[in-house]
Amino acid sequence: MAGKTILIVEDESLLGNLLKQRLEHEGFTVIWCKDGEEAVNVLRSKKPDLILLDLILPKISGFELLETMQADPQLERAPVIITSNLGQDSDVARGQSLGAIEYFVKAKVSIEELVDHVKTMVANLPVNS
């Protein structure tokens, strides 16, 4: 996993910090943003291999960030995994319609399951991503 970069967009400090530590322990480079506006700025300059995106964020929501990514060809188009407390079918459908490849409800997934899933996703990315 060396050389792969994960962008975490998560405003909950405890969860963001825990994910960052676990992913770094697995050998990933991790960029952690605490709001959607910061994430847009990072996506303009960095090229993460995968994005872990919360939906309920300060300044710009996760849904708005996905819409911005779709509308702006200058933004990096890394695969997005949504991690959110929003679990309604309509939220899942909206996230997928905006390009998310996976959707996890935080209350239903452990940190270890999420980290394992990220490792599998990154291992299966095309070499030139």
Q: Write down the domain spans for the chain.
A: 5-11+36-123
- For residues 12 and 126, give the distance between their C-alpha atoms in angstroms, rounded to a whole number: 31
Mean pLDDT of the chain: 92
Q: Which CATH architecture has domain 5-11+36-123?
A: 3-Layer(aba) Sandwich (3.40)
pLDDT tens readout for residues 9-36: 999 999 999 999 999 999 999 999 999 9
